């Protein structure tokens, strides 16, 4: 376990399931935390933590709250698919305010990206077919599109301002897997906390992408930049294979693509798009 960071760490989206898990786990490691969300914080406030309720689309409050912070764990915003106008404020404007705060404070950003930024890549047929972190974006929803935008915002702020950022393409972060797809995509809460700890405390990260899943033999995903932060997951979805391995959707679109059910929502093609992101059908 690494020593706590010298400066406070800000967590946006602190009242959500993942934000609460991070607040609890990092507080137990002795971190000084600043927590924010548009919703009230539902748990007892951890030691060395303060909470302020705010809307990420209103940037001035966030800029003030981030003063003196060494890192921002950006888990705020809309966390599932919604119409574009709903996603726009929290996930696009809010993200800009986070990066402006990071630029001003010379802070590192750990961005909760998502597998839905690449959800229209087909599922691999074998282990050596796994997707690598430098693959083309293929978002499966307006939510996934906002996550691709977020990774590109990190690229811009690294190239133009030197703001380090670690983009976590989170798979399915729940207490346990609940269906067959999660045997490939599941990320345990404990692995998430260890991942964020490593992302904040690594000496240098630059701009990088890490697949946010536990040590799942059936993972869809291959090489990434985890060596930069020294993280290796310790949990695995395999313990749930007998229980959930047969639980599939029955929808051919859902089962074809890595993004699962998000790909099938509002789907109107007659034939699937090509495996090559830029090829004609």
Residue pLDDT, tens place only, 131-168: 999 999 999 999 999 999 999 999 999 999 999 999 99
Q: Where are the beta strands (DSSP E) in 146-243?
A: 165-170, 172-173, 186-187, 207-212
The answer to pTM > 0.75 is yes
Long-range CB contacts (within 8 A, 24+) of 26-34: 26/193, 26/196, 26/197, 29/1, 29/2, 29/4, 29/197, 30/4, 31/4, 31/5, 32/4, 32/5, 32/7, 32/8, 33/8, 33/9, 34/8, 34/9, 34/10, 34/65, 34/66, 34/69
CA distance 279 to 155: 26
Residue pLDDT, tens place only, 171-192: 999 999 999 999 999 999 999 9
pLDDT band at 127 (very low <50, low <70, confident <90, very high): low
pLDDT band at 91 (very low <50, low <70, confident <90, very high): confident
- Which residues are known catalytic residues? 143
Delineate the domains of the chain, giving CATH numbers in brackets: 9-264 (3.40.50.720)
Residue pLDDT, tens place only, 233-258: 999 999 999 999 999 999 999 999 99
């Amino acid at each position: 376990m690494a020593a706590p960071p010298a400066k406070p760490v800000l967590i946006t989206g602190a009242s959500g399931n993942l934000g609460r898990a991070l607040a609890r786990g990092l507080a137990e490691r002795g971190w000084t935390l600043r927590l924010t969300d548009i919703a009230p914080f539902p748990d007892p406030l951890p030691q060395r933590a303060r909470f302020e309720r705010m809307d990420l689309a209103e940037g001035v409050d966030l800029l003030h709250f981030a003063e003196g912070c060494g890192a921002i764990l950006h888990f705020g915003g809309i966390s599932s698919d919604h119409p574009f106008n709903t996603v726009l404020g929290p996930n696009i404007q809010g993200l800009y305010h986070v990066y402006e705060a990071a630029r001003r404070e010379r802070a590192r950003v750990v961005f909760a990206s998502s597998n839905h930024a690449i959800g229209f890549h087909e599922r691999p047929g074998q282990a050596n077919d796994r997707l690598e972190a430098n693959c083309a974006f293929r978002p499966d929803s307006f939510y996934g599109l906002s996550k691709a935008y977020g990774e590109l915002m990190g690229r811009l702020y690294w190239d133009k301002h030197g703001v380090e950022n670690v983009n976590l393409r989170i798979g399915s972060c729940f207490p346990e897997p609940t269906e067959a797809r999660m045997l490939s995509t599941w990320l345990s809460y404990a692995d998430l906390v260890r991942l964020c700890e490593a992302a904040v405390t690594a000496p240098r990260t630059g701009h990088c992408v890490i697949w946010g899943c536990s040590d799942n033999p059936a993972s869809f995903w291959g090489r990434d930049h985890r060596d930069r932060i020294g993280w290796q997951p310790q949990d695995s979805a395999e313990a749930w294979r007998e229980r959930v391995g047969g639980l599939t959707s029955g929808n051919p679109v859902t089962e074809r693509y890595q993004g699962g059910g998000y790909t099938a929502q509002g789907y109107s093609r007659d034939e699937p798009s090509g495996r090559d992101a830029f090829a004609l059908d």
